[in-house]
Structure 1
Amino acid sequence: MANMKDVAKHAGVSVATVSNVISGKKFVSPELKSVVLDSINALQYRPSKIA
């Protein structure tokens, strides 16, 4: 199962950027958001229910 580090590496961004895209609390450019979301889908990332 993929984690946020895997998504960040796949997208070529930081873990913080992945977190910001998922949480929606900070601005991320639409282009970068698209890249991260594509990586999330490609890796079938799902947030941990425990976290």
Structure 2
Amino acid sequence: EADGRWRIYAPHGLSDVFGMVLRPNPVLAPRQVYEAKAERWLQQWPELTVLPWP
């Protein structure tokens, strides 16, 4: 905001972010893109939980 405060829109909540859960969204990206990102991110954050492709 103009006064320095943040406004966050999270219609589905923030639990996956804070819980380090990666959840596939077939509408946004194909399986190959999801799996490549998951592999790369697991190298950076080994504690990440990667949920399987549906």
Please indicate the TM-score interval, normalised by the length of the shorter structure.
0.3 to 0.5
Relative contact order higher in (CA < 8 Å, ≥ 6 apart): 1
Pair member with larger Rg: 2
Q: Per residue, is there more helix in 1 or in 2?
A: 1
Greater strand fraction, Structure 1 or Structure 2: 2
TM-score by length of structure 1 reads: 0.34
